[in-house]
Chain A
Amino acid sequence: MFQLKNELIIWLLVILIVGAFSTQLLAAEKIVINEMMFSGAAQEVLIEQAKRFMEENPDIEVNITWVDYASLHEKMMTELVGGTGRYDVMAAITDFMPEFIGGGYLEPLDSLIEKDPPEGWPDDFPDSLLRYQKDTDGKIYGLPWWDGPVMFYYRKDLFENPQEKENFQKEYGYELNPPMTWKEFLDIAQFFTRDTDQNGTVDFYGAVQGARQGGQNLVYDVLLMLFTNGIEILDENFKPVFNTEDGAKAIQFYADLMNKYKVSPQASTTYDVPESGDFFLNGNCAMHWNWAHIAGFAEDPEKSKIVGNCGYSLMPKGENGSNKSLISYWTYAIPKASKNKEATYKYIKFITSKEMDKLMVEYYGQPVRLSTWNDPGFVEKYPFFPWIAKTHEDIGVVPQVPEFTQINDVLQIAASKVIAQQTDAKTALDEAAQMIEQIMREQGYYD
């Protein structure tokens, strides 16, 4: 009995080992492009795009490996550093582009683009989507594919409700409109935070935040609070400049929304992009800011309880700031170690074409081309499109340095401390600035 099991397993192993190596042997027939992509909103549209590419190019096979978003960065870096050439194309987010480019892991695409430029290159792409995948020499390393400015959302039905408008006018002395400043935001948020079923607990909030430490969103919120108050993270000499009085006030305000004014649920500290989005889509709050996918999700009856009631606006601004938003977009880059660069370029050129960009829209995706945004048919069907273009007019990015991951971590911890009411905002920011300066100094930025 024991022996039989042993034998079976040995045979199984043999078959497996042979099987594991057979893929190498069989692959010689077609050119196989291996892609690493994160699972999520972009999954379905990419599968469709890849399918169409393979239909047009039967001699090339595209093989996509899905990785969970949280582990994506680690996995990508390990592969790039390992230089295995296992993957021919990677979905590289602009947050990490400086890291990838700086490490010398990516193939510059300039010569490939010159030989065979993508449709409408470069004018069909807004400048803000071409800037951040270049290195200091201006060489370009990725084709933009999936956009995502942070947009501001609000419950159109509530804001247009005559009774609400009347009450608001009476109480605050001005008309109820999507807030242009943080002061207005607070007023509106307080107005809408209510206990609608009179059972003693608040069940409708003014807003919700994605303030989970260790998630992806908290750092973006920190940046947004600073940006809208006219504050940058690093200056041209890579020195931290965010720990000013205004900066402290901005972060304190963010934390106060939850703790002092209670217009955002306490549970926000466990919410990341998915949960805070869901909170809004389930109809539990009046206002929200999040990536652009919410606009699409809001109209999908399977995902939202507020279909038809979602309005769009710009980020509110601080006293000394502007309605500036944040962008972080996805490009397709080719690792230097790839063995199929020509075929891969063909692939990424295809999926970033005008037609494929329009296809994105059908899947509630986030297109990147001006021609798509301004397409009259779309503008009618998807009223938020003009807002994407508007949002792009005043937009910022995360600090474009390879040390971003560490800066991210430091900023998140600082914000968390303020939210947990462990320290005040100024102390937390000063501490953070000190740590960031140390990090940059260690990397030789100030020599």
Chain B
Amino acid sequence: MKDSCTGCGKCEKTCPFGAIKVENKKAVVQDNCNLCGGCVQVCPFDSLELERKVEKKDFTNYTGLWVFTEVKEDGTVRNATLELLSKGKELATELGQDLCAVLLGSNVGELAGVLARYGAKRVYIVDQPELKEYNTDAYSTIIIGLITKHKPNIVIIPATPLGRDLAPRIASTLEVGLTADCTGLSIKDGLLLQTRPAFGGNIMADIMSPNTRPQMATVRPNVMKMAEPVEGARCEVVREKVSIERGLLRVKVVERTRTSMPGEKNIDEADMIVSGGRGACDEGNLRLIEELAKVMGAAVGCSRAVVDLGIKPKSHQVGQSGKTVSPKLYLVAGVSGAIQHLVGMKSSDVIIAINKDPDATIFQVAKYGVIGDLYELLPKLTEAIKRERGL
């Protein structure tokens, strides 16, 4: 805190932790300051300072941008990885470094072609039977080994349940910076600038890790745009063999059952989601929502209340304790808009909300707000779309 402070109070209002109080026309930083730096930005007089030094370490031997490949149950690459490759290609080009993919699994070698089409110049493959299913210990140990050996500058991982289990394990062991659930990535002064939401999406933060390598981030699925694949693109393949001790596989899945019906559309990667809340539960079902979703070719989402009522399994739940989705279309009816639901869907491209209450919070995030009775509107809309589609 410098003498130039006039006690204007801007910092006091900005502080997310309530840790600044203006006393006698001077801002005083209290003990509960979290050193987040929010106040430094808003001070018109440059009175506040956070002392941090960029260490003069030589990181020139760290090069390349790596993307972790998440392989789905059916043996294909998850879209989230392809999105990261697409974004990674831009960033790697800007840095003048190689875009690489890391691929772990069993009989996954063929996927290198897919990764190449989305921009990977080199793919590091560890292909062994023990890696057929994801295992925290095995995957993290192998990737830590690869990072230590090949020294990438940047490692990005999809912020899926798997990625969010894996990434902190790697970063903590390597003692490097990791930013969770980013919605934006760019290059600034040769460093990875990572943008992420916090406080339920009310504020955004730009984060960097200047003093450690690799710079690591997990990135929210469905946010980065997937590029068009380049047919005929090729890549270098680096195969690594590792020995996996049985003792390393400490966590075992002893039982596994599918919660969704086979053939049912999954909300994670759906382009369109039709979603319903408590208000759309008619006689213990979500029929009106499901019928509309069917004619639209959309996946069915729901709020927590619907799961609590036992009407839909949790795999359909959108929100803080469910899934975060960002489809091109999120059409929602009968959800008033609790923050926990909004967090899970507000980054969707086009949100259409139907609600009886003109003051429903859901309208704050919607592009189109329909004030009306869903029991009257949804069946008519379903019929109208059927006609449009010639069904």
Does B associate with A?
no
